[in-house]
């Protein structure tokens, strides 16, 4: 698969992840929302590693890529806080959007730490 195709998959992954978070607003749709959230997360991480490999930086993973994996885990865990009513769903979605903005920044700008 080409770097371009992994990029395309990466964008599909993030679309599905955030459809999932949007679905957390309605309790009826929460189960379906979690399905999209999960499928999106799997596509994001597979395409993310695919891009790292194509960019030839898999062996020497830059700090920004490790932070992305950390933020991916945060996106993976966040729904638990909404489902267990630890924090209100709108706040969970806001935190997810901020994490998403961080993931996009790291992927585009690749800051040297
Ligand atoms: C193809 C992959 C996946 C599918 C189809 C999927 C599907 C689902 C479904 C249907 C639920 C709702 C279960 C229920 O409400 O009874 C769920 C819950 C959940 N999933 Fe996934 N998932 C996938 C991957 C992932 C991944 C990769 C993560 C995290 C990194 C994740 C994190 C969660 C969490 C945190 C819950 C909520 C648990 C709870 O508090 O009830 N899922 N998933
Ligand atoms: C759901 C979580 C994620 C989101 C929302 C996300 C979002 C993004 C965005 C918006 C870009 C810029 C895309 C572009 O250049 O066209 C990007 C690039 C990138 N992401 Fe992610 N990402 C996620 C998870 C990951 C993970 C887990 C990894 C690593 C395992 C990863 C690795 C990369 C790489 C290597 C690039 C740079 C691609 C290049 O410059 O050609 N991403 N990401």
Residue closest by Cα to atom 16 of ligand 1:
31
- Helix 3-23 vs helix 30-54: crossing angle, to nearest 10: 160
**Structure confidence at residue 107 (pLDDT):** 96
CB atoms within 10 A of CB 21: 25
From the CA of 26, how far away is ligand 2's center (Å)?
A: 28
**C-alpha Rg value of the chain to the nearest Å:** 14
Report yes or no: 37 and 83 within 8 Å, Cβ to Cβ: no
- Number of domains, the chain: 1
| Whole-structure pTM value | 0.90
Give the model confidence (pLDDT) of 26-82 as tens digits.
767 778 899 999 999 999 999 999 999 999 999 899 999 999 999 999 999 999 998
From the CA of 65, how far away is ligand 2's center (Å)?
A: 8
Confidence of residue 24 (pLDDT cuts 50, 70, 90): confident
Question: What is the extent of the structural domain holding 9?
Answer: 3-109
């Amino acid at each position: 698969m080409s770097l371009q195709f992994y990029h395309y998959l990466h964008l599909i992954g993030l679309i599905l992840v955030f459809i999932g978070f949007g679905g957390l607003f309605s309790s009826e749709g929460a189960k379906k929302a979690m399905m999209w959230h999960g499928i999106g997360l799997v596509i994001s991480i597979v395409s993310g590693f695919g891009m790292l490999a194509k960019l030839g930086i898999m062996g020497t993973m830059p700090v920004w890529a490790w932070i992305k994996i950390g933020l991916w885990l945060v996106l993976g865990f966040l729904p638990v806080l909404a489902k267990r009513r630890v924090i209100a769903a709108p706040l969970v979605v806001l935190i997810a959007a901020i994490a998403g903005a961080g993931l996009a920044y790291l992927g585009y700008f690749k800051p040297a730490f």
